[in-house]
Amino acid sequence: MKKKSLPYEGVRVIEFSHMVMGPSCGMVLADLGAEVIKVEPIEGDRTRDLLGSGAGFFSMFNRNKKSIAVNLKSDEGRAFVEKLIASADVVSENFRSGVMAQYGLDYATLSKKYPKIIYVSHKGFLPGPYDHRTALDEVVQMMGGLAYMTGPEGQPLRAGSSVNDIMGGIFGAIGVMAALRTREHTGVGQEVQSALFENNVFLVGQHMMQYASTGVPASPMPSRVSAWGIYDVFKVKDEEQIFLAVVSDSQWETFCDAFKLEQLKSDEHLKTNNLRVQNRTLLLPILREIFLTMDIKHVAEIFEKNGLPYAPITKPQELFDDPHLAATNGLGELVMSSGPRAGEKTKTPLLPITLDGNRLPIRSSPPQLGEHTQQLMQELGYSEEVFQDFISKKIIK
């Protein structure tokens, strides 16, 4: 039986990127079957050796890729890379403005030579008054309303993941897909741009539209007026916590029946969701007192049995043992190529989609620095002697 091909098999992507945003774009395209060639400096992508909260960046965002290590300041290195670009469909980069132009690898230069090339840039801001600023995920969260919405009143707090970097990369990949589709009709490529700030504004758009709809500014999430009467984290026995939600009138009746709360069910002040929202200050203290006496497993079982929304408060490291992810092949296996545990096997989240009922597999672990340099030079017609000469001159690694 013939193995099914992935959607972007046959598409070659040359990736000049580091950190999270650009690599996220490349990861999506690579997972979907594209050949993504990561161009690294001789010393390697900086995220290979990051510590702290950046220790997982390289292993997370660089699977299914090839790596070449090239000194772009050398004429020979640039010539090698440009030969790769001539064979490619897409160039992806996320360096500060002007860097690619210094090497003659910007869109304006390349598109004149290779009119079919699709060029995706990942920046802090789309062109405009802010585009000279240096942006980070945290910077745009602060200036884009997300940190305000995440933290308590007066305590802006960044979200607990690189949300703009990751989503900005995903939108860059969507732009590449759209440009590839357009090229099928026009025969020419185009430039695609994705940006952290604009991504962040898209994320908080629901709160902007809340204000547009009501004239009332959205309150930060910790102090917001919930749209539902029960939609909170509750403490249960032994100081454990669980999130519980009751978001419709039928769920309210089910909830009251399941926990034998007939008095609350018959209370006219709690009959509808809007009434429960208005009377949350009366309702929630009663429920909090009830749940404090109950075992977390018992509460979860009742919610599960009755189809009511609930969630344990889970730490990221606990997801490695999540039974649902295990049963649905939601985690793929790879070998880490950097960090203190380089060479060890681990599991990592796959793209959160299925195609024809299957998750997209990890076909190769994150590459070693320059792992594919020789292979790709040979493909382009470079001899072994030239390869060794480039090595000795530190043009490649």
For residues 96 and 124, what is the distance between their CA atoms, to the nearest angstrom? 9
Can you read off the two tokens belonging to residue 173? Answer: 């990949």
Residues 327 and 301 in one domain: no
Residues 329 and 306 in one domain: no
The vertex-255 CA angle with 253 and 258, nearest 5°, equals 110
Burial class (CB in 10 A: 0-12, 13-18, 19+), 221: middle
What would the pLDDT profile of 82-128 be if each residue is shown by its tens digit? 999 999 999 999 998 899 999 999 999 999 999 999 999 999 999 99
Q: Is residue 218 domain-resident?
A: no
Is the pLDDT at 391 greater than 80? The verdict is yes
**Which H or E run contains 119?**
strand 118-123
pLDDT at 84: 98
pLDDT at 249: 96
| Alpha helices by DSSP H, 87-124 | 99-102, 107-113
Number of independent structural domains in the chain: 2
Residues 18 and 122 in one domain: yes
pLDDT at 3: 63
pLDDT at 137: 96
CA separation, residue 92 to residues 41, 136, 338 (Å) = 15, 18, 23
CB under 8 A, 24+ apart: contacts of 345-353: 346/59, 347/320, 348/59, 348/60, 348/63, 349/60, 349/319, 349/325, 350/31, 351/28, 351/31, 351/32
What would the pLDDT profile of 322-331 be if each residue is shown by its tens digit? 999 999 999 9
Residues 194 and 238 in one domain: no
What would the pLDDT profile of 275-323 be if each residue is shown by its tens digit? 999 999 999 999 999 999 999 999 999 999 999 999 999 999 999 999 9
pLDDT at 1: 38
Q: Is residue 376 domain-resident?
A: yes
Sequence-distant (≥ 6) Cβ neighbours of residue 301 within 8 angstroms: none
Q: Is residue 269 domain-resident?
A: yes
**Structural domain boundaries enclosing 292:** 226-312
Residues 190 and 287 in one domain: no
> CATH no. for residue 104?
3.40.50.10540
Last residue of a domain, one of 312, 344, 361: 312
